[in-house]
């Protein structure tokens, strides 16, 4: 289940992509399938081992374009082991809500992203998350659990201060919000409760079949009940004395096209509304 919409977050072949806090690797796998050079980074050694095995299997089975590379890395989001401006794209999906020093992680994210590059940042949305916290202390009072609930404007401002500008946003996974409310009611650690098992089967069926009814329902409900906020951001290029040379103009045109996609708009619409 992808939270980042890759139709709106363009990842070209051979783009250098960091999946920061990769977890089980879902976004790393998708970027790898698209031919990117992927670094899947996580603090958990077990997660890194599992993701590395899957990336190797994907490569061995020919599931990725020729030339694409991927590597698992164990690392700390507050001290990334990469030089400045290393990556074209950075994904930070459902990680910031776990980190006591979230602004430090944002600063590191911005540091390793190249000027003109793009980031996708996702966190749990405020309303669904507040319901979960109200229903169950076990949902968040666990080691490595969620330690804060973000307001959208607060998160955007923190990312702006870190050096990233917002270019697009949406909500995702509204059908998953009731599942977590149900788990909070019956016990978040109870994987065998009939109600949650039945709802989980529905979610799996929906992900596999993608029927029109549930796809339409989720699209209509996402703006209100979407479980995750998804932000797309750009690291601005520094202003140069000569902004008319061919290389600068080409780079800015490419940035504008990518920003239009991230905002959910075509380049033609973007030009028409300037």
Q: Tell me: the pLDDT tens digits for 96-136?
A: 999 999 999 999 999 999 999 999 999 999 999 999 999 99
- The rounded distance, in Å, linking the Cα atoms of 155 and 97 is 10
> If you write DSSP's letter for every residue of 56-96 in order, what string do you get?
HHHHHTT-S-TT--EEEEE-BTTB-SS-TT-EEEEEEES-G
d(CA 159, CA 106): 6
Measure Cα distances from 63 to 30, 59, 209, 233 in Å: 10, 6, 21, 29
Report if residue 274 sits inside a domain: no
In this predicted structure, what is the pLDDT of residue 254?
A: 63
Confidence (pLDDT) at 143: 83
Q: pLDDT at residue 251 above 70?
A: no
Q: So what's the pLDDT on residue 271? A: 32
Give the separation between CA 260 and CA 266, rounded to whole angstroms.
6
Give the residue-averaged pLDDT of 29-50: 98
Indicate the DSSP class of residue 192.
T
What percent of the chain is modeled with pLDDT above 90? 82
Select from 105, 237, 118 the least CA-distant residue to 168. Answer: 118
CATH code for the domain in which residue 83 is found: 3.40.50.150
Q: How far apart are CA 109 and CA 119, in angstroms?
A: 8
Q: What is the rounded distance in angstroms from the CA atom of residue 170 to the CA atom of residue 127?
A: 15
Range of the domain at 29: 16-173+222-267
pLDDT averaged over the chain?
91
Mean pLDDT of the 20-48 span = 98
What residues are paired with 49 via a beta bridge? Answer: none
What pLDDT shows up at residue 144? 83
Does residue 50 lie in a domain region?
yes
The answer to whether residue 72 is domain-embedded is yes
- In this model, does residue 52 exceed pLDDT 70? yes
The residues near 226 (Cβ < 8 Å, ≥ 6 apart) are 125, 128, 170, 171, 172, 173, 174, 177
- Give the total number of structural domains in the chain: 1
- Asked whether residue 210 is domain-assigned, the answer is no
In a domain, 102, yes or no: yes
Kindly report, residue by residue over 185-234, the tens digit of the pLDDT. Answer: 999 988 899 999 999 999 999 999 999 999 999 999 999 999 999 999 99
Instruction: Give the separation between CA 24 and CA 143, rounded to whole angstroms.
Output: 18
Assigned domain for 198 exists? no
Closest by alpha carbon to 138, among 98, 179, 97, 189?
A: 189
pLDDT the model gives residue 191: 87
Domain presence at residue 7: no
Specify if 124 maps to a domain: yes
pLDDT band at 267 (very low <50, low <70, confident <90, very high): very low
């Amino acid at each position: 289940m992808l939270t980042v919409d890759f139709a709106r977050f363009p990842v070209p072949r051979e783009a250098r992509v960091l999946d920061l806090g990769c977890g089980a690797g879902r976004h790393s796998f998708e970027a790898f399938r698209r031919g990117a050079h992927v670094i899947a980074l996580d603090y958990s050694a077990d997660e890194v081992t599992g993701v590395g095995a899957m990336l190797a299997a994907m490569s061995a089975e020919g599931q990725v374009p020729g030339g694409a590379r991927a590597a698992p890395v164990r690392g700390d989001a507050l001290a990334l082991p990469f030089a400045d401006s290393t990556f074209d794209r950075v994904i930070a999906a459902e990680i910031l809500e776990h980190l006591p020093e979230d602004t430090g992680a944002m600063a590191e994210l911005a540091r390793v992203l190249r000027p003109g590059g793009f980031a996708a940042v996702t966190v749990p949305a405020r309303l669904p998350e507040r319901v979960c916290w109200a229903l169950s202390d076990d949902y968040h009072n666990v080691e490595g659990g969620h330690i804060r609930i973000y307001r959208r404007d607060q998160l955007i401002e923190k990312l702006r201060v870190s050096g990233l500008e917002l270019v697009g946003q949406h909500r995702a996974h509204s059908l998953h919000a009731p599942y977590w409310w149900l788990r909070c009611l019956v016990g978040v650690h109870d994987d065998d409760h009939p109600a949650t098992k039945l709802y989980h089967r529905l979610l799996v069926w929906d992900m596999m079949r993608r029927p029109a009814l549930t796809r339409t329902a989720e699209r209509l409900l996402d703006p209100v009940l979407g479980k995750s906020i998804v932000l797309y951001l750009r690291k601005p290029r520094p202003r140069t004395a000569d902004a008319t040379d061919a290389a600068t103009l080409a780079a800015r045109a490419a940035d504008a096209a990518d920003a239009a996609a991230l905002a959910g708009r075509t380049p033609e619409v973007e030009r028409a509304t300037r």
